[in-house]
Amino acid sequence: MAETDWNPWRRFLALPNESRTKTVIVAFLVSVVCALLVSGATVLLRPIQTANRAAEEQARIADLVSSIPGMAALLEQSGGTLSTVIIDLQRGRAAQDVTSGTLDTALADPANWTALDAEADVAGLGQRPDYVQIFLLRDGEDVSLALLPVTGQGYGGRIDAILALQGDMKTIAGITITGHSETPGLGGRIEERAWQASFPGTEIRDDTGEVRFRVARGRATNAHEVDGITGATRTGNGVTRMMRFWLGPDGYGPLLDAIERGEF
């Protein structure tokens, strides 16, 4: 009579290959080994993956910003690291549950828009999104430049622009008009670089914090004004109202205050 082999591993190997028990155990062992290999690779590759995602994000932001006329040169002069942030406008802080990837979905929900009453709606928007994507340039821990999308009603229709503010959040670094329906040769001249060149250095607020920016009816006469365009007073008024809304309490005002206090 053959001696019984009590070694479980040898007894397992001695089972026929057709054995259901052997098949199940082999499948289980293979899955455990694969899971361990995948987990180990994930841990080892995580720093590389994180670095690659950061590089891809920077490349995406750089491509987006470089498509905005005049902004690439402005960023080159400023230096630092550019990042994109989704802002909760009501709180003046980074959004907790909305990212660049989910922003469009969030704004498709009417609940994520705020209706504006007539007194607050100086830009003629009707409603304002609760979340906006902005770009911040940092020099170390400090914000050195903020790129803010702004929009409002001009004489011929909607005006869209990107406003760049210096790190003090009081001084305009530049502006570019990204879309408009103004009259060619008149209000349409807001897209000309020569007119936009009057913006850098303009102070948006006075010492009390009140938004004072204004497009003048002629030449600018103080630190809060930019030159007007002859024959395009209504377009200039539209730009004034647009800027005052977005720089005020219903727009980026709470965010600008937080950055200025060093809380962002």
Judge whether residue 3 has pLDDT over 80: no
Q: Give the model's confidence band at 38: pLDDT under 50 very low, under 70 low, under 90 confident, else very high.
A: confident
User: Is 226 or 1 the better-scoring residue by pLDDT?
Assistant: 226
Q: Nearest to residue 173, comparing CAs of 149, 203, 214?
A: 203
Q: Give the model's confidence band at 253: pLDDT under 50 very low, under 70 low, under 90 confident, else very high.
A: very high
**Per-residue model confidence (pLDDT) at position 151:** 92
Could you read off the pLDDT of 215-243 as tens digits, one per residue?
A: 998 889 999 999 998 888 999 999 999 99
Contacts of 10 (CB under 8 A, 6+ apart): none
Q: How many CB atoms lie within 10 A of CB 148?
A: 22
- CA–CA distance, 190 with 184 (Å, rounded to integer): 10
User: Is 38 or 99 the better-scoring residue by pLDDT?
Assistant: 99
What is the H or E stretch that residue 111 is in? none
Please provide the average confidence, as pLDDT, over all residues in the chain. Answer: 82
Judge whether residue 62 has pLDDT over 60: no
CB of 169 closer than 8 Å to CB of 260: yes
Judge whether residue 203 has pLDDT over 80: yes
Q: Give the model's confidence band at 37: pLDDT under 50 very low, under 70 low, under 90 confident, else very high.
A: confident
Q: Give the model's confidence band at 247: pLDDT under 50 very low, under 70 low, under 90 confident, else very high.
A: very high
**Per-residue model confidence (pLDDT) at position 54:** 46
